[in-house]
Every structure is written in structure tokens, then in C-alpha cells.
Chains A and B, each alone.
Chain A
Amino acid sequence: MSVSRDDFSIAFRSALLQRGATQKFSIFSLIIVALVIFFLDVYGFTVVKKSRSILNDIVYRVTYLASTPTRLFPGINQGIASHFNLRKENEELRQVIERYKSLDLNLEYITNENKNLKKVLDTENVKTVSNVVLAKVLVDRNSPFLKSIIINKGSKEGIIKGMPVTQNKYLIGRIVETNYLSSRVLLLNDLNSRVPVTFDEKSTQAILTGGGTRKPSLFYLPEDYKFIEGITVFASGKDGIFNAGTPIGKTTEDGEVDLFVDPNQLSFVTVNLIKPSKEIF
């Protein structure tokens, strides 16, 4: 009995403290270091925050570079495929040219219409346009637990936590972490995402809650509310973070929202430089 206990303690100690030619650190010492780093980061000391911000910027750039092959290979495959389909592509292009020729006839009309519409735009809209930052998606790693992306613009461009992020004016998420040269965007389908929304003719209010799945769900609806498919859901702006009226997606019969923008297909996004009226984080 005592022999087996000795065996256990020797194996246990050895597993924790053993070092060798290639194992320069014992597991025990590394666990202590990891715990210290973890608690320093969790309790948010300023020095650690700044160090993490610098580390984030460096790692995100390296990640972007390291992921280049995975972005290039699909492109190369497409290139090879299109080379073999050259004849078919040629015919399709001829048809496209014909279509464009017919569209050209309408160009003058559309140009005039565009001029008139520009006159309709007021100065408020022009101001809004200047308060946005176009950002490229650096890292889009599909984690099973967190649905977020990293963009190549940070506090240098005036981005702060809580700012809404859109693509083609459709809401996709909000900024949850800022570094000097990069930021993290929490997507609408993340489990931690909560957005007050409004929809239908009665301006029904609800909270759009991410579940880690593709489609976020609507919660806190009026009692016995029956969902109708295809109703556009807008941000209500009641949280003081998102612009009221920003379109998000369309309802489904199950009480989910089919987002206008596929969260897995993001390459460029727009950060609206609107200072949130309250800090939620």
C-alpha cells in the first residue's frame, strides 16, 4: 500500500517538476507564470493592458501573414478552373457585353436621376459619411466559442469600445477590444451579443440574442407573439450604442433572424465613429 503511494507521489512530482535537455522549464513553474499572467490580465492592470494591446497588434499581423496561403489557395484553384473553362467563359462574357450595351442606353437617364437624388441628400447624411472608417478584416478565425473578427483599424483611427460595425449599412456587430492598430468586433451571432431591436408595423421591441449559431434569436417579446416570416428587423437604438433604424436581418418562423450579412463572409467592414452614450463593458 505504502509502495503504491510512494509510486504515485514520485510519478506526480516527476510530472510536475521534471526538466530535461529539451524541457527547459518545469510544468509547475510554467503553471505559476500562466496563473500570474491570467490574473494580471483579468483584473486589468494598466501595464498589462498596454502590453496586451501591443502583443495583440503584433500577433494579429503575424496571423494575417500566416493565413495568406489559406486565402491564396482557393484563388489559385479558381484560376485553374477558369483557365479550363475559357471557352464557356468567353461566351458568357459576350452575353454580358451585349447586356451592357443595352444598359448603356439607359445611362443618361440614370445619370440624371442620380444627380437629382444627390440634391435630395441633406448635409446631415454627408456628415455621417465622414464619420466612418473602412476597415479590412485581418483575422476571421471561426472559433466554436467566440464569434468575432479582427479588423486592421484601431484607436489610432479613433475607434473606441462599443462602436457599431456595419457592412453595406447592415449591422454586423460592435467593437469589444481596441488596440493601437487593430480592433476586435463581436458579431451579432456570438453568445455574448445582445442588441435591442424593433420590427413590424406595431414597432415591437425585443432583444436580439446571439446563440453561437448562424442565426441569432429574438427574446423578451410581448406575450403570445406569433412570428411572421420575412419582417425586417432594425436596431432600436435604445441602448445608446447602435444607430436606430440600422437594418439587421429578416425574421424567420422560429423566432430567429436571418442576418442580411453572412458573418462568415466578411472582408471589409465599416466602423461608425459614433461615441456610445454609455459604456456597457
Chain B
Amino acid sequence: MAEGNIINKLFSAGPLILLYYLSISEVDTNLEKLFEVFSLNLQIIIIYFWIIKRPSLMGTGHIFFVGLINDVVMGFPLGISSLSYLAVCFVGNYVRNKSVNTTIASDWFTFLIALIFANLLFFSLLNNFSDIAISYAKIGYNTFFTLFLFPVFWLLFNLYQITFIGNQDA
């Protein structure tokens, strides 16, 4: 019984572990070796999906901390990724409060708002308060591919949720 409980907790912690791992490891979703313009912000997809579906699995404190780690590894000013991730959380929370039942299409549309809001905050802060120059084309590609691939990850995470988490209280 206790063993089953530990496994359940491990599965529930899966998305958070993945989020931490993506931020701290060398694993990246920038596959420019295969396709030069391809890059993806998987962290934002993970945060948005789980905040909408299972907010109890994504503590905002963890999201804030993940953002700080991401800034250190990527070389951005501290706190900028945290702000961007928290903006996604805010939109996710708002959508969850306002809607009763969500579908993949409604989540996709609201994700667009969250993504634009988060990226606008991130790049306007970076542009105005930092010396780091960033290619607008790269931002565009990144936003496009993140948005474009959201349904794919939505289905994968939904499958994970149904298979491994189910209706258990996390």
C-alpha cells in the first residue's frame, strides 16, 4: 500500500521533475542542428498545461525557482524567466477560474494569450533593461513552434495524466 503511494507520488511529481530537469540540464529543445529555425519553449507548455489541469502538481514557488535556475544557466538577468513563467501561471489561473470545462481547442487558444503575454514581458524587459541583443526572427520562430506544437504536448501530457495520475489527489 505504502509502496503504491510512493509510486503515485513519484508519478505526480513527474511534470515538476521534468521542468526542473529541462532548466538545469544541457537538454534543450533547440534543434537547430536538424532544422536551423526550430526552437521550442517546452517549459512554458509544461507550466501552462499543468496549471490548467492540475495546479496542485505545479507549485508557484517551484515555478519561480525553476525560472531563477533557467536564468543562471542561460545567462539572462536573474528573475526574468521567473516573471515570464509567472505570467503564464497567471493566465492559466485566470482561465481555470473562468471556465468550467476545457477542450484542446480552447486550451490552445488561451495558450496563445499566455505565450504572447509571457514573451512580451520577457523580451521587453530584456530589451529595455539589459545589453543582451536578441534576434526578433528567432523570437518569432520560437513562439510559432511553441504554439504550433502545443496540441502535441497537450495530448502527451493528457495521456500521462490519465495513465499515471488519474483521479488521485496529488
Contacts and interface: CB of A to CB of B under 8 A. Distances in A.
A62 B24 contact: yes
A212 interface: yes
A212 B138 contact: yes
A143 B26 CA distance: 10
B43 interface: no
B93 to A, nearest CB: 4
Interface string B26-52: 111010110010010000000000000
A239 interface: no
Interface majority SS (helix, strand, loop, mixed), chain B: helix
Interface residues of A, number: 60
Nearest to A43: B129
B30 A143 contact: yes
A144 B39 contact: yes
Given A24-B59, A42-B77, A55-B72, A66 B24 contact: yes
Contacts of B139: 145
Nearest to A17: B93
Contacts of B164: none
A20 B96 CA distance: 15
A174 interface: no
A141 interface: yes
Contact of A38 (B32, B77, B135, B142): B77
Given A15-B93, A16-B90, A144 B78 contact: no
B118 interface: no
Tell which of A31, A144, A148, A214 has the most Cβ of chain B within 10 Å. Answer: A144
A41 B25 contact: no
Contacts of A40: 78
Contacts of B80: 34, 38
B64 interface: yes
B56 A22 contact: yes
Contacts of A56: 72
A10 B93 CA distance: 12
A139 B73 contact: yes
Interface in A125-146: 139-146
Given A18-B93, A35-B83, A145 B134 contact: yes
A35 B25 CA distance: 25
Contacts of A191: 133-135
Interface of B: 21, 24-28, 30, 32-33, 36, 39, 55-57, 59-61, 63-64, 67-69, 72-80, 82-83, 86, 89-91, 93-94, 96-98, 125, 129-135, 138-139, 141-142, 170
22 contacts: A11-B94, A11-B97, A15-B90, A15-B93, A22-B170, A23-B60, A23-B61, A25-B60, A27-B86, A27-B90, A34-B67, A38-B129, A48-B78, A59-B69, A59-B73, A63-B25, A63-B26, A66-B24, A140-B26, A145-B74, A145-B132, A145-B138
